[in-house]
């Protein structure tokens, strides 16, 4: 399982994106922020609400120099069928990665072997491919794209301002902290 500060293993996965199927090497995102949205399965109940929300926020992630990739153990053909049939999923333009063997999910620690699916998890990777934040929880609990965006912005801020820290519920423009000092303002 990956831990904070570790580099993401370089996998090549098939992806469905904007009516095409292609291979995507995760190292292609080096130099940019990467958000990996692991989810259990296509044609389920919670997953389309999350991915539709991520699609809505996608332009804001792109403004932060971040790419989103969703990922499940379904095949690219299942991703395509879901994209073609679901009104919520039709709006997704980011890559939908396929890990039908579960090997990448296993490497990342999200794989549920008894079910053959991934846990719901979010990984935020910096431009060097290092894991800066992750969240993993029960598949019955949906996540918030607004909170993922906030965490990305905080990670970008602390990378751009070494030694700074972001307090609880920090948003761009809020005061930051310097350990050992009081609030230091907008660095």
47 catalytic residue (yes or no): yes
* Residue of 47, 69, 108, 166 marked active site: 47
Give the DSSP letter string of the chain: ---TTPBPP--EEEEEETTEEEEEEGGGGTTSEEEEEE-S-SS-SHHHHHHHHHHHHHHHHHHTTEEEEEEESS-HHHHHHHHHH-TTGGG--S-EEE-TT-HHHHHHT-EETTTTEEPEEEEEE-TTSBEEEEEEE-TTS---HHHHHHHHHHHHHHHHSTT-B--TT--TTS-EE-TTS-EEE--
Show which residues are catalytic: 47
């Amino acid at each position: 399982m990956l831990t904070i500060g570790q580099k993401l293993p370089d996998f090549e996965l098939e992806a469905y994106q904007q009516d095409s199927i292609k291979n995507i090497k995760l190292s292609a995102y080096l130099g940019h922020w990467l958000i990996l949205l692991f989810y259990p399965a296509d044609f389920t109940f919670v997953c389309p609400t999350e991915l539709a929300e991520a699609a809505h926020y996608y332009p804001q992630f792109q403004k932060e120099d971040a790419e989103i990739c969703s990922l499940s153990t379904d095949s690219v053909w299942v991703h395509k069928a879901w994209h073609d049939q679901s009104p919520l999923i039709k709006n997704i333009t980011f890559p939908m990665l396929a890990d039908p063997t579960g090997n990448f999910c296993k490497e990342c620690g999200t794989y549920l072997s008894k079910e053959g699916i991934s846990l719901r998890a979010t990984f935020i990777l910096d431009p060097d491919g290092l894991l800066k934040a992750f969240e993993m929880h029960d598949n019955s609990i949906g996540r918030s794209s607004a909170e993922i965006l906030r965490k990305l912005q905080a990670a970008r801020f602390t990378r751009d301002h070494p030694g700074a820290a972001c307090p609880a519920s920090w948003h761009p423009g809020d005061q930051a902290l310097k350990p050992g000092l009081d609030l230091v303002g907008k660095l």
